[in-house]
Amino acid sequence: MWTIQTPWTRRLRPFAILLTFLLSACQHADQETDSHAPEPEATTMKTTTMNTPPIAAKRPHQTVLHGQTRIDPYHWLRDDDRKDPEVIDYLDAENAWFERQMSDTDTLQESLYQEMTARLKEDESSVPQKDGDYWYYYRYEEGKDYKIHARKYQSLDAAEQIILDENVRAEGEDYYSVNSIQISDDHRLMAWTEDTVSRRLYTIRIMNLDTGEMLGEDIPNASGAMAFAADNKTLFYTIKDEQTLLPFQVYRHALGTDISNDTLIYEEKDNTFYTSVSRGKSKDYIYISIGSTISSEYRLLPADQPKGEFELFLARQDHHEYQVTDLNGRFYVLTNQDAINFKIMSTDQIRNTSMHGWQEFVAHRDDVLLSGMTAFRDRLAVNLRINGMRNIHLIPFDDGPVLEIDSDEPAYTMYLDDNVEVDAAKLRYGYTSLTTPYTIYDYDLTSGERTLLKQTEVIGDFDSANYQTARLMVPARDGTDVPISVVHHRKTPVDGTAPLLVYAYGSYGSSTDPSFNSSRLSLLDRGYVFAIAHVRGGQEMGRKWYDDGKMFNKRNTFNDFVDVTRGLIERRYGDPKRTYAYGGSAGGLLMGVIINEAPELYHGVVAAVPFVDVINTMLDESIPLTTGEFNEWGNPKIKDQYEYILSYSPYDQVQAQDYPNLLITTGLHDSQVQYFEPAKWIAKLRDMKTDDNLLLMYTDMEAGHGGASGRYQRYRDVARMFAFFLKLSDMNTGAQ
C-alpha cells in the first residue's frame, strides 16, 4: 500500500472565528446572550477615496460574560455563507487599498516572483518509493502547477503509468488540492481525496488502475483519512461534521455498492477529540485513532477481517497520549505515561486494560524528546530531539548496537521519510538546514553506509557556501534560554546595520525546525538576516517547552519572541530601525500580541491568516476546531481562563497607540482562521491607531488557510509579502 497524506493536526495553524454572543449588563454574571445595541452607527461602509482607506461601519454588538460587558463593533463582518454583498464589498475595498498602497512595488513583486520561480526545477520529481512490485513517484511538467502521480512495474526502466494527473483534475477550478492517496494491496485500485473550495472538506474518488475507469462511488465530506482492507474490496474512511469540520465518524464502504449503504463503524461523541483511520505499516491491522490535545485512544482491526469488530487497544485517560505501531506480532507504544518526554513500551496484547506487564523498549530521558517511530523487520527507527535538533536512532530488537545518524551543521532537521516496506534493507530519511536544500538519503541498516538519492535542485547560481547559519541562545526575561536559528549571506555584515526578519509559530507543540526555503534567498541576497525564534509553545526543547507555552503559560510565547528580538539586536544581528516580524495562524496571534505590547520594537510586521479574536472564537463551539483546543488556549466560559485569554487577545487589546507598519493576509474560504477575524481586526486597528504607518490587508477571494493552490501561484503570495518588507527597508533593488 502506497500512501501520501497531509495529517489533520488539531488546529496546527489555528482556527476560525466565532459568532458574537452578547447580553445586557443586568443579566447574571455567568449568563451569555446575544443582543444588538440600539442604533447602529452606519448601515454601510463609509465613503472612501483613492487617498483614504476603507472605514468599516460600527454596529455595536455587546456581550456580557462573567459580569463583564464587551462591545464588538465589527461583528457584522461575519458572514458564514460568504455571500453578503456588503461584506464582500468591504473585503474588495481593502484589496483595492492594498493594491493602491503597494502599486509602487508592482515591478518589484513581478521581479521577485520571476526570480523565485526561476529557482525551481520545472520538471522536478520525487524519489521513487518501492511498494510490492511497483515503484511510485510524482513529477511536475514544465509550466504546470500540479503534480502528476505515476508508477512503474518492477523496474524503474519500465514504461510509466500515470495514475493521477492533478492538472487535468484542476482544469476549470479556482482552487484544487489533493490530500491523500491510497493504493489497494493488489495495486488495482486507487482512492484519493480532493478539495476544490479550500475548506478542507474533501471528496473521496476511486479509480480502477487497470482500466482507468472511475468507480463513480464518490464520498463527500471526508477528512482525507482512509484505508483499504486486505481483501481489496473494502475501504474505511472518516467523515467530517459539515459545520465544525470535526472528523468524527468512521465508515466501511464495500466497493461496487451505493455509499448510502455504507456501515457506520465508529462515532466519536466527545467533540474535543479528532478521529482518523489508517493502515499500519505492517499491513496487518487497520487503526482507528482518536485524539485530543492531551489524550489518545486506539482501536484495531485485523486487515484481513474487514467485517470484524475493532478492538479497543487501551482506553483514553486524561493527560495520557500514545501512538501505536505493530510488527512481528508485537505492539510498540510511544507513551507519555510517567514520561513527560515519552518512552517506548511493547506488548503482545491487542486489548489492554492497563500498561501492567508491558516491557520497556526505549527508556524515558529528561534531555531527549521521542517524537515518532517506524518499524523494520529487525529494528525500530526513532525520531527524537536532542538539544532541540531532530535526529534518528536505529534501535535493534535484539542486543545489537544502536545506530545514530549524525550531522555536522549547527542547525538542521533530520526526519524519517516514507518507509513503506518493513523488510527493506535500507532506511530512507530526509535532511535539510537553513543552507542545505531538502536531501533524501538511503541508510543501509547493516553497514551504516549512507547513499545520497536526491537533493532538491536550486536553478541558477545558488551555492550554499555563500550563506552562513548559526545557533544562538538568548535569555528570556524569566532567565530561560531560548534557542534561535539564524541565516544570512556571508557578505551581510553582522554589525547592527542589516535589516532583520524574525519568525516564530509557538503553539500546539508544533516545532519550527530549521529548513531550507529557496524563496528566502530573495531576502538573504538583498542583505536581510533571517531568524527563527524557537519560542515556548513548540516542542523544540522537549515536552515541557510546549507545556510552558500554553494555557496559563501562554504569555511565555509572547515574551520569548520580544526578548529574542531584543537579544538579536543587542548582538548586532539587525538594525533596530529595520527590524521586522512575521507569523501565520497561531503565529499571527503572536504578531497581534507583540504589536500591542512592544510596537516600538518593529518597523513592520506581516500577520498571515492571524488568529486574533481569541475570546469570541473559543466561545463559539460551532466554529471549526474550537472544541478540540480548550486544552491549548482555555475555555473562556470558565472565569479565570476567560480573564487570562482576555489579557492578551489581540482584537480585544487593540489600543489608541502607534503601531508598526502592518500587512494582514487572509483567505475568504479559510476553515481554520475564518476571514472575519483579520477583517474585524484591521477595522478596529484603523479606527484606534494613532500613527500614519501602513495598515494593509489582502484577502484571497478564492483560497483558504494555506493560500493559493498550485506550485507557482503560491509564490505570488510570497512576492507580495517580501515586497512589503523591502518597501519598508528601502532595499528594493540590487542583490549581494
Angle 335-415-388 (CA atoms, 0-180°, nearest 5)? 70
DSSP string, 201-259: -EEEEEEETTTTEE----EEEEEEEEEE-TTSSEEEEEEE-TTT--EEEEEEEETTS-G
- In the three-class reduction of DSSP (H, G, I as helix; E, B as strand; rest coil), residue 148 is classed as strand
Q: Identity (one letter) of the amino acid at 270? A: D
Phi, psi of 560 (to 5 degrees): -60, -45
Helix (H, G, I), strand (E, B) or coil at 302: strand
Give the integer Cα–Cα distance in Å for 627 and 621.
Answer: 6
Secondary structure letter of residue 260 according to DSSP: G
What amino acid is encoded at 622 in this protein? Answer: S
Nearest in space to 536 (alpha carbons), one of 563, 502, 507: 507
Residue 273 cell numbers, joined: 477529540
Q: Which residues contact 735 (CB under 8 A, 6 or more apart)?
A: 525, 526
Q: Which amino acid is at 336?
A: N
Angle of the 555-570 helix axis to the 639-648 helix axis, nearest 10: 30
SS3 at position 602: coil
Cell 466501511 locates to: 252
Cell for 732?
A: 528594493
| The residue count for the chain | 736
Contact 447, 506 (CB under 8 A): no
Residue from 263, 261, 276, 268 nearest 306 by CA: 263
Quickly list DSSP for 641-690.
Answer: HHHHHHHH-TTTT--SS---EEEEEEETT-SSS-THHHHHHHHHHHHH--
Bridging pattern class, strands 529-533 and 500-503 = parallel
Q: Which residues partner with 442 through β-bridges? A: 428, 451
Of 131, 548, 670, 717, the catalytic one is 670
Q: What is the CA radius of gyration of the chain?
A: 26
Give me the catalytic one of 184, 705, 709, 729.
705
Active site annotation includes 670: yes
C-alpha dist (Å) from residue 262 to 217, 236, 287: 11, 10, 18
The DSSP code sequence of 624-646 is TTSGGGHHHH--TTSHHHHHHHH
* Residues 6+ away with beta carbon under 8 Å from 111: none
Could you give the C-alpha distances from 34 to 21, 343, 624, 636, in angstroms and in order? 5, 48, 20, 16
Tell how far CA 250 is from the center of its chain.
24
What is the C-alpha separation between 155 and 207, in angstroms, rounded?
Answer: 23
Q: Angle at CA 204, nearest 5°, toward 210 and 372?
A: 95
Query: Catalytic site residue 364?
Result: no
What is 161-192 written as a DSSP string?
EEEEEHHHHTTT-S--EEEEEEE-TTS-EEEE
**Residue 533, strand partner residues:** 484
| β-strand pairing of 500-503 with 579-584 | parallel
- What would you measure as the largest C-alpha separation in the chain, in angstroms? 78
Q: Say whether 697 sits in a helix, a strand or coil.
A: strand
Residue 303 to residue 284: CA distance in whole angstroms? 5
DSSP string, 100-142: HHTGGGHHHHHHHHHHHHHTS-TT-BPPPEEETTEEEEEE--T
Residue 540, classed as helix, strand or coil, is: coil
Catalytic machinery residues: 585, 670, 705
